[in-house]
Structure 1
Amino acid sequence: MFYEIVTSPCYGTVEKVAIDKDSRIYEWEPLFAIKNMNGELEVIKMGCSGEVQSLEVEAGDKVIPGMVLAYIQEDILIGGSD
């Protein structure tokens, strides 16, 4: 199994958590919205599909760059079956 780690790109406050634990996510779907120190909203997306294994933050939490927001169990497409 492969896990993708969703991390914060900035200092700020989590404005919105758009996913739930055990929900499915799809490539480039908005996962989190973080209001950065300049007051701008940064939407966090991932280039992978899979299932949310755990959420590490909730709305209102303060975050720093590199802080883990969620763990995603990535769907692995395996080509060719015997």
Structure 2
Amino acid sequence: MYYEIVTSPCYGTVEKVSINRESRIYEWEPLFAIKNMNGQMEVIKMGCSGEVQSLEVEAGDKVIPGMVLAYIQEDILNSGSD
């Protein structure tokens, strides 16, 4: 199994966490919403599918670029996406 690390692309505040620990995610599904320092909402997505192994942040947490948001155990099987 491979693990993917979901990281923050910006400084800001986590506004929404759309996943739970041990939930299944699919390619390009919204995982987090972060309000950046300019007030813009950044939606965090990943190009992989798998199971959430851990969540490292929750709504209201401050984040910086490169900060780990979650760890995903990636599926080896291909999944469909648009």
TM-score band w.r.t. shorter chain: over 0.9
Q: Which runs of 5+ in 2 are unaligned?
A: none
Paired position in structure 2 for 1:31: 31
Q: Does 1:75 align with 2:49?
A: no
Provide the aligned C-alpha RMSD in A: 1.0
Could you tell me which runs of 5 or more consecutive residues in structure 1 were left unpaired when the two chains were aligned: none
1:41 and 2:41 are equivalent in the alignment:
yes
For 2:14 and 2:35, locate their aligned partners in 1 and report how far apart those are by CA, in whole Å: 6
Larger Rg: 1
Residue aligning to 1:13: 13
TM-score norm. by structure 1 comes to: 0.93
Deviation at residue 3 of structure 1 after TM alignment: 0.3
1:33-79 Cα shifts (integer Å, max 9, x gaps): 0000000000000000000000000000000000000000000128x
Percentage identity across paired residues of the two chains? 90
Give the counterpart letter for 2:54 in structure 1. Answer: S
Structure 1 ranges of 4+ moved more than 4 A: none
SS in 2 for 1:6: strand
- TM-score norm. by structure 2 comes to 0.93
